[in-house]
Structure 1
Amino acid sequence: MSRTVTLALVDDAGVPLGALPAYDVPAPWWQEVSSVVAEARRRYGLDVAVLRLVAADRPEPPGGHLTYLAQVSGRPSVPLTPVPVDLTPEPLRAPWAEPGGPARSLAWAAEELQRLGRPVTAVAQQRTWNLSAIWRLDGAHGTAWLKQVPVFFRHEAAVLRWLARAAPGITPIVLADDGTGRVLLDHVPGEDRYEAGPDERAAIAVDHHAIQLRAVDDVAGLVAVGVPDLRGPALARWIRAALAPHDVSVVVDLLAGLDDRLAEVRRCGLPDTLVHGDLHPGNVRSDGTRRVIIDWGDAFLGHPAFDILRLTETLDAATAGSLREAWAARWRADVPGCDPEQAVALLRPVAPLRMAAVYALFLAGIEPSEHPYHAGDVPACLERAAAEAKQD
């Protein structure tokens, strides 16, 4: 599957110029724009900065025919086609999705790297969507990555700095951050481990257990630096508030009993800790010798079982069960008298319910033209939560 892309261009002042002829790129995932930028350069000799998605011919990713707004300096010599694009200001628009936004962020990153003695010689845009913008910055002293995230992920830099002290070597190194969502990260060799098998997932679970055990003793410090606090009853309140604008009829019974269920979970005796929030193998990077857990924007303080449920959710029942048994054994050894198995059983329907709330908050915090990225996720997660609740 591929994408067909139309770039609607604006100049540095945000004045619309027209659209380039449509072209195909191999990667079907809408937020991946490195090939979009490279193909515009190859075909038309243009250096563009992709700002945001403005239209799609299908309700959700991947693939299809997409129109992006992109910025270019000067007026292209290639003939452009008039195209209607709504340039009305939008209060929920990400700062990197505005004309001039990428340039401001890259200028900040270049200044920080210069200060660190790592001057930039080449820049490549990798990704842009409502949850992040990512650029690769190369120089004679190595590669760094500029990541910019929205306000609801702003705590990620603080989490990474805490992790660098508490668990050095298994998370990305922060080179700089500006407190608003921009962070510079040192390069991590290897590849994202989307295809990790059971043995590798078991190793990831062991790595992550060490992090969570260390965080048990510093929950207050993590709260102080802005990590969302979803311990105990706060989780139920947060879920209900996030899902209030949505049709939750399929999980009405689960929501009605959520406080009692979470009270039972607390009686299982596991401590609250730092939760990654999206611990699937694609958020682990490895070069075969070193594993690094990345993308901590979904992190919160709460129950550790959420991460083992996420790490095992795509596995067959027997394999998932084996990994969860090992996870439970570690917690029983470290917290005598706790009941990890019962906690997992109680939280199985809550895990997709929490994810539905996460996607609901994304939708509430991003501009409408980017809703197709997530609109289908809320009902899909609610259906999964209902299915898990029926198996209680």
Structure 2
Amino acid sequence: MEVRAQLAQQMFVVEMPENFWFPDVEPVLQALREQFGFEAVVRTCVSEDPITYLLDPIDSFDEILGWIGSHVQACGPWVQVKSWGLSNVLRIPTADGDVYFKALSQASTDPEALPFLFADEPRFLQLTSADRPGEVPAPIAIDERRRWMLLPDLGTPLGAAEDVGLWIDAVRNHARLQLSYAAEPSRLLSYSCADRRLAVLTDELDRLLEPNKLTRHLDPVQFAKLPDRAKQLREAINELAEIGVPETLLHGDLHPRNLAVRDGRVLAFDWTDAALAHPFLDLVTFVEKQSPLSADPRVRDAYLAEWEQYATPTDLRRALTLAEELGTLYQTITYLHLVDHVTGPTQTSLLRGGSTWLEKLLA
């Protein structure tokens, strides 16, 4: 695959694998450095066909690097790892290991509406890591105004782990973190979690019945299914609410590549979708085909066992079945929200993701 990068009036072309995803800019910048001998950073991606980046000189990051340098001392060259409409990520080597800088995008929005990214991740992690030491990543530093943060290297992705015990620990510890906030919904809201409880999800469901950026891609047969499907989903929401599992902390994007393992401990990162919602909705992203252990019954049962103070095992299994269905709705609504705040290749990528969830919802 040909990938293009433009700096001023110069255009450079490098080869990337066919499955290359445009936000992962590190290999492109490495190829430019090795093949053409210059350093640059990605300002933005302007096209996916072909993938085309606009570059800036590295001194355009001087303000960021100055802030990083006030908190950690680098012992080698920093690298831009990721850049797209949601975030910008750098990796900085230090004597104590790599640290990661993350800047969240800040799109303007109606102050009465949900924020662009559901949670202010730097603020959320600073507060929850103080509440629950060792249970979420603790930032080295944050700049709340600019929504910048520095995080330590959290280890290797859980998706690469072959020990089912690690997967069991991951879901058990996540459930315990969720349970620890079950009696404190107002605290989660004050920590910047969006209110996406089942009552709110019912209202959000109405968006799917209106013309929008996702439904306009449906064929007439699919579109005609929406009213009946919405009725079924409302019934599922009511049934799930009646089971009695409390609504509490939701990660919102808990897939196995957003969990990392270091020294036998599993931590979830990338909390930009954190919300106050039904906790079981996190399992819809956690379980995936490419990670067979995520669907292991022992992993599921370990998660459900943590909630037995609220319902019988039979009711908990029913709640999880309902949450799998409603989690698909939840993800569809998440993508529908995000695509309204971005443009270009980022929007195109999110539209693909949202369309996948919507098609699954209507299947």
**Short-chain TM bin:** 0.7 to 0.9
Deviations 1:297-350 (A, max 9, x none): 111111111112322243669944443333222211x32558322212222221
Question: Match for 1:216 among 142, 159, 182?
Answer: 182
Residues 195 and 275 of structure 2 are in contact (CA less than 8 Å); yes or no, is this contact kept in structure 1? yes
Amino acid at match of 1:200: L
Q: Separation in 2 of the partners of 1:71 and 1:225?
A: 35
SS of residue matched to 2:78: strand
Q: Deviations over 1:8-33 (max 9, x none)?
A: 113xxxxxx2312x111457222111
- Is residue 119 of structure 1 aligned with residue 73 of structure 2? yes
- The residue correspondences of 1:72-91 to structure 2 (distance < 5 A) are 72=57
User: In structure 2, which of residues 210, 214, 231 is the aligned counterpart of residue 256 of structure 1?
Assistant: 231
1:252-277 Cα offsets, whole Å, 9 max, x none, are: 32223433321221110100110111
1:203-242 Cα shifts (integer Å, max 9, x gaps): 2101101111111122211111221011131122234347
Q: Partner letter of residue 157 of structure 1?
A: P
What's the % identity of the aligned pairs?
24
The alignment status of 1:36 with 2:31, answered yes or no, reads no
Whole-angstrom distance in 1 between the partners of 2:52 and 2:134: 40
Partner residue, 1:201 = 167
The Cα offsets for residues 186-208 of structure 1, whole Å up to 9 and x where unpaired, read as: 32252122234544322210110
Tell me, yes or no, if structure 1 residue 108 matches structure 2 residue 67.
yes
With 364-373 and 262-271 compared, the bigger mean Cα shift is at 364-373
Q: Among residues 301, 311, 318, which one is paired with 2:286 in the alignment?
A: 311
Q: Which runs of 5+ in 2 are unaligned?
A: 107-115
**Distance in structure 2 (CA, Å) of the matches to 1:243 and 1:302:** 22
In structure 1, the partner of 2:353 is: 377
Contact 1:134 1:146 in 2 (8 A): yes
Q: Which residue type is aligned with residue 69 of structure 1? A: L
Partner of residue 354, structure 1: 330
For the structure 1 residues 298 and 341, does the alpha-carbon distance in structure 2 shift closer, same or farther, using more than 3 Å as the test? same
Residues 154 and 267 in structure 2, CA contact (< 8 A), matched pair in contact too:
no
List runs of 5+ in structure 1 lacking aligned partners.
11-16, 58-64, 75-99, 388-392
Query: Does the 8 Å CA contact 1:242/1:361 hold for their aligned counterparts?
Result: no
**8 Å CA contact retained: 1:283, 1:293:** yes
Partner of 1:56: 48
Return closer, same or farther for 1:318/1:103 CA change in 2, 3 Å cut-off.
closer
Q: Counterparts of 1:96-245 in structure 2 under 5 Å?
A: 100=60, 102-111=61-70, 113=71, 118-120=72-74, 122-140=77-95, 142-151=97-106, 152-153=116-117, 154-180=119-145, 182-197=147-162, 198-241=164-207, 244=210, 245=212
- Determine helix, strand or coil for the equivalent of 2:68: helix
Matched, 1:68 2:66: no
Distance 2:362 2:265 in 1: 38
Q: Is 2:254 the counterpart of 1:279?
A: yes
Measured at CA, do residues 312 and 139 of structure 1 come closer, stay the same or move farther in structure 2, by a change above 3 Å? closer
Q: 1:142 to 1:194 in 2, by over 3 A?
A: closer
Task: Name the CA distance, whole Å, in 2 between partners of 1:361 and 1:103.
Answer: 33
Structure 1 counterpart SS, 2:194: coil
Q: Distance in 1 between matches of 2:248 and 2:360?
A: 25
TM-score of the superposed pair, with normalisation by structure 1: 0.78
Tell me, yes or no, if the aligned pair for 1:193 and 1:282 is still in contact at 8 Å. Answer: yes
Deviations 1:142-170 (A, max 9, x none): 43211011232352123212331233223
1:328 is matched with 304
Tell whether the 8 Å contact from 1:126 to 1:135 is kept in structure 2 after alignment.
Answer: yes
Equivalent position amino acid for 1:222 in 2: L
The residue number in structure 2 matching 1:4 is 2
2:159 aligned counterpart, secondary structure: coil
Matched AA of 1:306: L
